[in-house]
Structure 1
Amino acid sequence: MSSVFEGKSSSNLYVREIKPADFDYLPLDWSKIFGNNNNLIVEIGFGGGEFLQRYASKHPEKNFVGFEVSITSMKKAHNRIKDLENVRLVITDARFGMREFFGPKSVEKVIMNFPIPWDKKSHERRRVIVPEFFETLSNVLEDDGTFELATDVEWYARQTIEIAQEKGFELMSFVENPDREIKTRYEQKWIKYGRNIYSVILRKKTHLEVERLIGGHHEMPHAKCAVNESKFDELKGKVFKDRSKVVVVKGLYKQMEGKAYLIKIISTDGEFQQHYYLVAYPEDLSEENSKEWIIKLDSASNPYRTPAVKWSVQVLADFLSQ
């Protein structure tokens, strides 16, 4: 039976956008998405899409995937690349996406242009260039695949080299003020003002195995239990923890006419956080005092089915049935 709160997920407004959460299986089969087996190049942080558009236009024999977290950037970039069949855009944290969306040895090259260094201690959780990132790259890059960084911060370039080499990458080049074939808008601006640019190219020489959070069929369980309705009053603000999994109940909304509840959840797997809704309702809505309740993901929400998301259903069922 459908939930009284459930609705349909929003349609995809951008024809070149990929929503991996909609797929039944991860990592993704990019050959099916693009309709060919061309090599994959990934840009992390595509911004306005200028670099990605020019690069993909010059290399129609390659497939390109761009990551961003900004919806505004998605809109700007999509306007530039919408006619390019060899480009797909993804809105999600690339640290998560690189590990979960790409299989071993499936990517030819990964590019980052002028990322924010996030050098303050308080910004540590936002950093992309960390050892775990290069562990992921050592898995998803093909043998001798490359990682390319362009930055205007010298210490950041040197730190990137150091971290990468610790994970088995080989330094191919470290160049100050390179004459790159394709330049970003910011790069052209920095050059105009005489600011130094640093280019780093690293090559994978060691293959590492990584543990994926999802890996396999992208399924979501539901729970059936006898609910103590008085426990709903205790839910809001409740925090549940289990190792790297955290589930926080941020809101509780009761159906005006009926007994169903919509539950706002924030869950975290390590550093990866998601917001979504669960729904709880009597199994038999026609029965006045139905003992059995269903707790499941609301269909208007579509988070990645990570361990914390799956656990949120079970931990709420356990709490409500006490």
Structure 2
Amino acid sequence: MSWALDKVILSPDSARLFRREELPRRGTIFAEIGFGNGDFLLNLASARRDALCVGIEVSLTSLLKAARKVLRGGIDNVKLLNGDGSFLLREFFLPERVEGVFVNFPCPWPKKRHSKRRLINSLFADNLAGALKIGGFFELASDEKWFVDEARGCLLENKALEVGEIQRNLGGPIGTKYEQKWISLGKSIYRLRATKVSFFRTTSIVDWEEVALDINKEMPKGWQMGKLGFMTNKAGGDDRFKWAFKDAFLGDDGTGLLQVITADDGFQQKFYVRVIPRENSVLIKLDDASTVYRTPAVKGAFKALAEEIGKL
């Protein structure tokens, strides 16, 4: 079954093709952020076979488990993305096309030092408003009232969203494992619904058209691949777009491999760049085993590496 997983899971490369060729032809689109075991998403997709249901999840384990469930169930209207939900709301979906977004029992990150990890903030509200069609909705469910209160305040900051009052113990049409668990323990469930009522758009930062990241750099005099190790722990960028070079490896074939970590508005990607010596130049290219969204930080990392190689 593993060979068929790419029919369900969209890598950055396959997401580019799907976004260009399939999304414009789809009618109703739903998204669930943080789908966990995938039961809610699959039940939604089964109930709405006319709709495309997109699941977004940071856990690779959850992603693979859900993909296998989709394949076993023969459900053909589900696609899965691995990554930050707020970022992918803005970047993957075409503007103002999503009918509904669901977030069910996300981790509230209650400790103050972890507050930046909470999904719903002012940036999320803007990205949500940009993705939803007018009349589209957002639904949040949680067993933590303070978290829902905070989320409501964030959503109210975007005037394109009409935010309802928090509802207590109002059952949803499709249940989840966590909901059943908390109810069995006697805990209250809090729900929040917001509707998009006016025009609002955001600006995408992913280059969905560019494919190659290759840079051919003139080889400096006295260049040796061993110098690539000097790039370890070098970093750059600005407040929004950051990159850092980590471990460097030298291959028996004379090529170098450098691990890179980038962050765009908090969306992190890890990948490898291969450095290949040629007769009078050095080719800098994305390693064949890596796939990335072409973001400003990724492009910045390639440019910075080329500049640094010129100095080594």
Decide: shared fold, TM above 0.5.
yes
1:124 partner amino acid? S
1:247 partner amino acid? W
Q: Name the residue aligned to 1:177.
A: 169
SS for the counterpart of 2:166 is strand
For residues 219 and 115 of structure 2, the distance between their equivalents in structure 1, rounded to whole angstroms, comes to 41
Q: Indicate how the Cα distance of structure 1 residues 215 and 29 shifts in structure 2: closer, same or farther if over 3 A, else same.
A: farther
Checking the alignment, whether the CA contact within 8 Å between 2:131 and 2:201 is kept in structure 1 is: no
Give the drift of 1:11: 6.1
Structure 2 unpaired stretches of 5+? none
Q: Name the residue aligned to 2:64.
A: 75
Does residue 194 in structure 1 map to residue 186 in structure 2? yes
For residues 295 and 11 of structure 1, the distance between their equivalents in structure 2, rounded to whole angstroms, comes to 30
Does residue 263 in structure 1 map to residue 263 in structure 2? no
Please identify which structure carries the higher helix content: 2
Give the drift of 1:216: 3.6
Checking the alignment, whether the CA contact within 8 Å between 1:100 and 1:215 is kept in structure 2 is: no
Question: Please, what TM-score do these two structures have when normalized by structure 2?
Answer: 0.89
Match among 197, 200, 203 for residue 208 of structure 1: 200
Match among 77, 94, 118 for residue 109 of structure 2: 118
Deviates more, 1:14-23 or 1:173-182: 14-23
Q: Name the residue aligned to 1:4.
A: none
For residues 225 and 297 of structure 1, the distance between their equivalents in structure 2, rounded to whole angstroms, comes to 14
Q: Name the residue aligned to 1:252.
A: 248
1:270 partner amino acid? D
Match among 12, 20, 30 for residue 20 of structure 1: 12
2:177 partner amino acid? R
Q: Indicate how the Cα distance of structure 1 residues 249 and 37 shifts in structure 2: closer, same or farther if over 3 A, else same.
A: closer
For residues 295 and 188 of structure 2, the distance between their equivalents in structure 1, rounded to whole angstroms, comes to 42
Give the drift of 1:171: 2.4
Q: Answer 1 or 2: higher relative contact order, Cα 8 Å, separation at least 6.
A: 1
After superposing on structure 2, the runs of 4+ consecutive aligned residues of structure 1 that deviate more than 6 Å are: none
Cα-to-partner distance string for 1:202-255 (whole Å, 9 max, x where unaligned): 111233232222144142332222334254342222222345332222111112
Checking the alignment, whether the CA contact within 8 Å between 2:5 and 2:67 is kept in structure 1 is: no
Q: Name the residue aligned to 1:282.
A: 277
Q: Name the residue aligned to 1:108.
A: 99
Q: How many residues align?
A: 303
Match among 90, 93, 97 for residue 88 of structure 2: 97
Structure 1 unpaired stretches of 5+? 1-9, 284-289
SS for the counterpart of 2:187 is coil
SS for the counterpart of 1:217 is coil
Alignment map for 1:38-49 (pairs within 5 Å): 38-49=27-38
Give the drift of 1:121: 2.9
Question: Please, what TM-score do these two structures have when normalized by structure 1?
Answer: 0.87
Give the drift of 1:178: 0.7
1:246 partner amino acid? K
Q: Name the residue aligned to 1:307.
A: 296
For residues 131 and 318 of structure 1, the distance between their equivalents in structure 2, rounded to whole angstroms, comes to 36
